[in-house]
Structure 1
Amino acid sequence: MTIPPENRVASPATHCSAAYAGLPFHPPAALEAAPGALLAGAIAVSAFLAHAVPGMTALSPMILAIVLGMAFHNFIGTPAIAKPGITFSLRRLLRIAIVLLGFQLTVGQVLDVGGRGLIIVAASLTATFLFTVWLGRLLKVDRKLTQLIAAGTSICGASAIIATNTVTEAHDEDVAYAVACVTVFGSVAMFAYPLLPRLLHLDPHAYGLWSGASIHEIAQVVAASFQNGQRAGEFGTIVKLARVMLLAPVVFALSIMQRLAAGRSAARTARPPLPWFVLGFTAVVALNSAMRIPPEVSKEIALVTTFLLSVALAAMGLETDVSKIRAKGLRPAVLGAISFLFIASFSLALIKLV
């Protein structure tokens, strides 16, 4: 039986929405997001605990978080009640984390790399990104997945992938695939690079530059570069941080390209939003450069940043189906492998030439 509109009783949710309609903060929405955010947070905590286990320290909590999230989703199942919190983690918390990432960088650190070092880093990043996009089209890999692999390989691994995805808006399975690529090939570099300095006639400075300019994750750069001494490790870390600095212009450029493409397409009426959180990231870098933040405070901020990024990746894992990843085949993995070999050889060639 159909109830006439005039006799219908408004639901409690409707009354709540009306009651809070004029407020800038919507408490019922926050309560609705709590289960999913807490679940993603619990998985992130588990990732940190797993990271502390001997033999697991080479894998960042972010990578472990997406793996644990995927395991939960595919073996147990993500409850429907968690959906609003997962969306909140993938949007709000992720953007906050990217802004906070700026506290790990200063303009002085970038300048310490030197003019020639910055040229090598910027040229390697740009060439690798463009080469990967071109090769992805050649291999007929999905455009969005190609952009994620290009960002992860050329900039800074998982952090760059999830930051780039705020613009590309790829499926969660694409993000998981791209993270898997940078994890596997970055781990290969982490173990292979320390065997090569003598063979390639690289002094500690050159080896640190090569490691920082070509290995995917910050943790992988630290693990590989310090194998060749303190000087190589410190310089490799600084170079890698300078490379992370380029995350902002790359994501912003991709956003502009998406907006232009949307403007030319008659089929799309809405344009992708500009990533204003990237401007926040840049502003925080400037703030961190202008004022001295105590080391213990910086350490705590870095920990919070990594945790928030881990929560976002855990949320992504909670929406990722392994069967859909398998369905993508091996071509994206081939793309990731060739892209890794390209940035390693291209940056090495520049170091030898410059």
Structure 2
Amino acid sequence: MKTNSISKPYFIRINTTLQQVIFVLLLFLCLFPVISPPIALLLGLVVGNLSGHPFLHLNHKATNILLQVSVVGLGFGMNVHSAVSAGKEGFLFTIGSIIATITLGSLLGKWFKVQKKTSHLISCGTAICGGSAIAAIAPVIKSNEKETSVALGVIFILNSIALFVFPIIGHWLQLSQTDFGMWCAIAIHDTSSVVGAASKYGTEALQVATTVKLARALWIVPVALITAVVFKNKTGKVKIPYFIGLFILAMICNTYFSPVAIATPYLVSIAKIGLTVTLFLIGAGLNSSVLKSVGLLPLLQGVLLWISIAVGTLVAIMSFS
């Protein structure tokens, strides 16, 4: 009888049934508070590279839906007035950092001779909101699967590092909750890692980071429209992040409707579990084949761009706080 073994180059080769059992058990473990977002990401990375992700074909869709639902759930734990205050404070940082990041990314891409579309996707992913920005910009510039995959690979690798590194640096520099939340929102690519890092730092940091990051995500639309002009594409469709509207509605409900406020602790707890599961799935999707497909030059572009925006933003925040 033929054994259904895993043909991909994972470190441990096991039959499909055992692979699925291990994966589901670890996924179930992420439903409990003992597993923090960074640990969930690490578990995903370990299982994804040791035994593999048995449901990889569903991963992108699952993480996308889970992340959006979780972010909306977090909105039920936030106050409109505090969110507006945080959004106003981060507005100038957002505009300046987006322009600087895309400009510097373009220069680095030319310097390293990275393919133009890949370079632009990496720049937009770093400037706005990681994978969501890449997913929105890719059809506008008509990038092929490899160009999009390389850009996503770069962003996801750096996201994973940021989730662990940023809280350590924040505590080392003794950043306030507000300053750390602002830094996370601007300098970490993907919303999942922004929320994960900020939640580990504190409640106020989480509120600031989530609000500023989602306000930043709205810049996908103007950046995509400008991109369409630059790449001379009149037919490219822009994916608008509609779930941000639901996030705002959740905040309004929590602020002005007391019956909703009673359920807030439960909704926020469920949302945080959803975020933890999302990070586990993202980690599980980063197997060795994804890492190898990225290539050295696009990774160098992404790393230098990310370090530049992270350091520049941190200096600006500490100077003006």
TM class, shorter-length: 0.5 to 0.7
Q: Which amino acid in structure 2 is aligned with residue 76 of structure 1?
A: S
Quick one: which of 68, 75, 98 aligns to 1:102? 75
Work out whether 1:343 is the aligned partner of 2:308.
no
Separation in structure 2 between the aligned mates of residue 341 and residue 253 of structure 1, nearest angstrom:
26
Task: Look up the match of 2:124.
Answer: 147
Structure 1 93/143 Cα, relative in aligned 2: closer, same or farther at 3 Å? same
Structure 1 stretch displaced more, 120-129 or 161-170: 161-170
Task: Look up the match of 1:59.
Answer: 38
Calculate the TM-score normalised by the size of structure 2: 0.66
Q: Which amino acid in structure 2 is aligned with residue 328 of structure 1?
A: G
The gaps in structure 2 that reach 5 residues or longer are: 1-19, 139-146, 189-193
Work out whether 1:161 is the aligned partner of 2:113.
no
Separation in structure 1 between the aligned mates of residue 37 and residue 237 of structure 2, nearest angstrom:
40
Alpha carbons 1:212, 1:221 under 8 Å: kept: yes
Quick one: which of 273, 287, 291 aligns to 1:325? 291
Separation in structure 1 between the aligned mates of residue 244 and residue 183 of structure 2, nearest angstrom:
23
RMSD of aligned residue pairs (Cα, Å): 4.0
Larger radius of gyration: 1
The gaps in structure 1 that reach 5 residues or longer are: 1-36, 152-159, 198-205, 225-232
Shift of 1:347: 1.7
Task: Look up the match of 2:96.
Answer: 127
CA deviation string 1:59-81 (max 9, x = no partner):
264x346525xx42x443445xx
Separation in structure 2 between the aligned mates of residue 39 and residue 281 of structure 1, nearest angstrom:
34
Task: Look up the match of 1:177.
Answer: 154
Task: Look up the match of 1:306.
Answer: 272
Alpha carbons 1:258, 1:272 under 8 Å: kept: no
SS at match of 1:274: coil
Calculate the TM-score normalised by the size of structure 1: 0.61
Task: Look up the match of 1:45.
Answer: 28
Separation in structure 2 between the aligned mates of residue 270 and residue 75 of structure 1, nearest angstrom:
39
Q: Which amino acid in structure 2 is aligned with residue 106 of structure 1?
A: N
Alpha carbons 2:122, 2:134 under 8 Å: kept: no
Alpha carbons 1:40, 1:311 under 8 Å: kept: no
Separation in structure 2 between the aligned mates of residue 42 and residue 108 of structure 1, nearest angstrom:
41
Identity of aligned residues (%): 13
Task: Look up the match of 1:283.
Answer: 249
Superposed, which structure 2 residues align to 1:237-316 within 5 Å?
Answer: 237-254=206-223, 256-257=225-226, 264-265=232-233, 269=235, 271-292=237-258, 297-316=263-282
Structure 1 290/40 Cα, relative in aligned 2: closer, same or farther at 3 Å? farther
Structure 1 344/256 Cα, relative in aligned 2: closer, same or farther at 3 Å? same
Structure 1 306/58 Cα, relative in aligned 2: closer, same or farther at 3 Å? closer
Separation in structure 1 between the aligned mates of residue 67 and residue 289 of structure 2, nearest angstrom:
26
Task: Look up the match of 2:304.
Answer: 334
Structure 1 148/120 Cα, relative in aligned 2: closer, same or farther at 3 Å? same
Aligned length: 275
